[in-house]
Chains A and B, each alone.
Chain A
Amino acid sequence: MGLEVVNLTARIGEKTVLKNVSLNVNYGEVHAIMGPNGSGKSSLAYVIMGREIYEVVDGDILLDGESIKDLPPEERAIKGIFLAMQDPPQVPGVRLSSLIIAAANKKLGGEGELGRPRDPRILKRMMELAKEIGLDPSILQREVNVGFSGGERKRSEILQALLLDPKIVILDEPDSGLDIDGIKIVAQYINKLREQGKGVMLITHYARLLQYVKPDRVTVLIGGEVVATDGYELARLVEEKGYAYVKQAFRKGSAQG
């Protein structure tokens, strides 16, 4: 159960960005994906979410045992996958609250106008949660990501993840560009997501965040390939010895789980 990526090979244009990648994200666990810049971490997130500029060449993506590989992004979202993007785009004109209301309506299903909340409690909850994670609630009335600071963008993504109640949350470098206080807050909510029983795929470049969120499992991705999968110790190894070392060490033999 949870998310399973099975022998996934994918490309964008001519470039193969994922090569035979397999990994699981179990409920109630945080699975950290680490790797140097350009190793395919974001690509993995996009392919799981169904971004159409990527082509799945081989392999499968399963949610609770069912393939979602051929579904458009919105159906994957409704089934319970949420991607907090590394660098979410600005969407001029669209207020954050409008996006949240529309998304929450879709999640609830049924007919009716997208702009009017089908469950009015969402209005109060978004205000409260925004405050809790250190966002000025007035941000809800601003246009999505337009003029948001780096920290506001990251938190706004986390806010949506919390409000939309997905099963699997993919967080693509939620710590980049944050100061230490920001990192602590984000970590706190990642832990909360795990406590709620969600499966969390936590993509991160540095091990710093992992001091505050102890992952249950760590996968190292280099050049689009999984070079190592192990427990929390792997993150420490990466931090102490670097990616090149990890790649070497694991190539030499240790069987991986």
Chain B
Amino acid sequence: MGEMVELKKELLGGVDLAEQLLGREKPVKVEVEIKGKITKDMIEEISRIKKEPEWMKRLRLRSLELFYKLPWPKWLTGIESINLEEMVLYSRPEVQGPAKSWDELPKEIREYYEKLGLPELEARFLSGLSTVFDSETVYARVKKYLEEKGVIVLPMEEAVRKYPDLVKQYFMRIFPPSDHKFAALHGALWSGGTFIYVPKGVKIREPIESFFLIGRSGEGQFEHSLIVADEGAYVEWIEGCSAPRLSRFSFHDGMVEAYAHRNATIKIITVQNWSKDVINLNNKRGIAEDGARIDWIEGSIGSKITYVYPSTVLKGDNSATRNTVVTIAKGPHIKDSGSKVIHVGKNTRSQIINKTISADGGINIYRGIVRVLRGAKNATANVECESLILDDKSKAHTYPHNQVDEPTASVNHEATTGRLTEQQLFYLTSRGLDEDEAKSLVVLGFLDEILGELPFEYAQVLTRVVQLEFSKYGAFG
């Protein structure tokens, strides 16, 4: 792949959006760090540090074996440019327990969150917020009414210790470590992340957010979040990620598992804005029982390379999902995305909306899979892929894949590619907009229907992000 060679050649220059926001990496005091060869001893040490029950340690070790055994996934290119054995695979910053107030955090860490506007967002809009810095949760707070309603929101490792029986039922059973080599690696090394359990019939309208920050170069982040909505429950979880500008690549191999019981609804919104030295791999999967619904909205803006494929298994009858994925590849970056849906139950419905924007040599790749199993009577799936390409240097590729084994199912696929033409650009500039403004107008127009669906605060964030991306102060303007 010539494109990959180009990518590797591109050294660290220019300023990306994450850097505009967070600046460059600053030293943060570290209490424990683990690096080197990934061995059984290393995994056991992590498990010991976390005071884990035996079953979790065994899950880690089983994952490690799978990691050794499984082949390198063919679809993952670009990861070979990082050497895992040179990376810090576990890094705990010097913070006393998860803090309950921002003042308790060391200044260097707190400043990052302030620049991201998290304290304000929390106060105005969220029912709970946890932040993970490197490998551990450093801040966690929820509004009181959540506890009163029996909602559990905890750092993942605390949930493993406090509610082992609950966690065990789901943890890496939705996304097993055997799925691929890096799911196995995740299983062995996972650290940080959020556990959410919403009891029967409880509906939480204010979102809960978790924010993941990679604070150092050459780090691996393997956070694991698990969202469980019991029968008839409703929950919205927002996941944000960012990093300051780093001097060497860091690697993200996180996982999100979601389980929606009968008639429950889980909505997951991701705003990914890693700096461009982060190689970003995500493992995201949900299972929906009878009448349940899981919606994913993924906004993927930053990073050097991103692999993200939110997936839903529509296990129960009448379950539904909508996967909305928006990726922006601007500059010499790759976004490899796609939604996956497996229809198992009857009358299951899925809708996939994938929108990609390629600019300044960016490459977007869509790989979607819709599988309708035999017996998923009257399942319907609609896939819409739209690519917007802003110049001749940039590319978008679409590889949809449908496998339909049920004769009564209906699967529709629509793909369109729009290229911003010289004529359009001239037309817009002739109205007084400069080139960047013209492009951001076109991009925002392209995203209009999706912006309309996001919570207001996040639509605003995304709008600003797009404007910044296409402003002269942006990376490659």
Contacts and interface: CB of A to CB of B under 8 A. Distances in A.
Interface stretch (A73-81, A176-184, A236-244): A73-81
Contacts of A76: 430
A83 interface: yes
B150 interface: no
Interface string B406-440: 00000000000010011110111111111101001
B431 A164 contact: yes
A14 interface: no
A72 to B, nearest CB: 7
Interface string A85-104: 10011111111001100110
A89 B424 contact: yes
A1 interface: no
Contact of B434 (A46, A74, A98): A74
A143 interface: yes
B445 interface: yes
Contacts of A106: 431-433, 437
A51 B445 contact: no
Interface in A80-135: 82-83, 85, 88-95, 98-99, 102-103, 106-107, 113-115
Contact of B432 (A77, A92, A93): A77
Contacts of B429: 72-74, 77
Count class of interface residues, chain A: 35 or more
Contacts of B445: 91-95, 98, 143
Contact of A113 (B421, B426, B467): B467
Contacts of B441: 94, 98-99, 102, 114
A99 B421 contact: no
B437 A102 contact: yes
A53 B432 contact: no
Interface residues of B, number: 26
A186 to B, nearest CB: 19
A166 to B, nearest CB: 10
Contact of A91 (B428, B435, B437, B440): B428
A103 B448 contact: no
Given A74-B433, A114-B437, A99 B418 contact: no
Contacts of A70: none
B431 A72 contact: no
Contacts of B382: none
A88 B431 CA distance: 12
Contacts, number: 90
A160 interface: yes
Contacts of A113: 467
B174 interface: no
Contacts of A77: 429-432
Most A-side CB within 10 Å, residue of B388, B426, B434, B463: B426
Contacts of B434: 72, 74
Chain A binding site: helix, strand, loop or mixed by DSSP? mixed
B446 interface: yes
Nearest to B416: A92
B442 interface: yes
A49 to B, nearest CB: 5
Most B-side CB within 10 Å, residue of A50, A85, A91, A164: A91
A132 B437 CA distance: 30
Most A-side CB within 10 Å, residue of B418, B421, B427, B431: B431
A46 B448 CA distance: 31
A247 B437 CA distance: 45
A93 B463 contact: no
B444 interface: yes
Contact of B424 (A78, A91, A98, A115): A91
Interface string A32-53: 0000000000000010011111
Contacts of A51: 426, 430
Contacts of A99: 428, 431, 441
Contacts of A73: 426, 429-430
Contacts of A88: 427
Given A94-B442, A114-B437, A143-B445, A103 B432 contact: yes
A70 B424 CA distance: 21
A103 B431 contact: yes
Nearest to B437: A114
Contact of B433 (A46, A82, A103, A143): A103
Given A73-B426, A94-B442, A106-B432, 19 more contacts: A51-B426, A52-B426, A53-B422, A72-B429, A73-B429, A74-B429, A74-B434, A74-B435, A77-B430, A89-B423, A91-B427, A92-B445, A93-B448, A98-B445, A99-B441, A102-B431, A102-B433, A103-B431, A164-B432
16 contacts: A73-B426, A77-B430, A82-B430, A85-B430, A88-B427, A89-B423, A89-B427, A92-B418, A93-B388, A93-B446, A94-B442, A94-B445, A103-B432, A113-B467, A115-B463, A160-B431
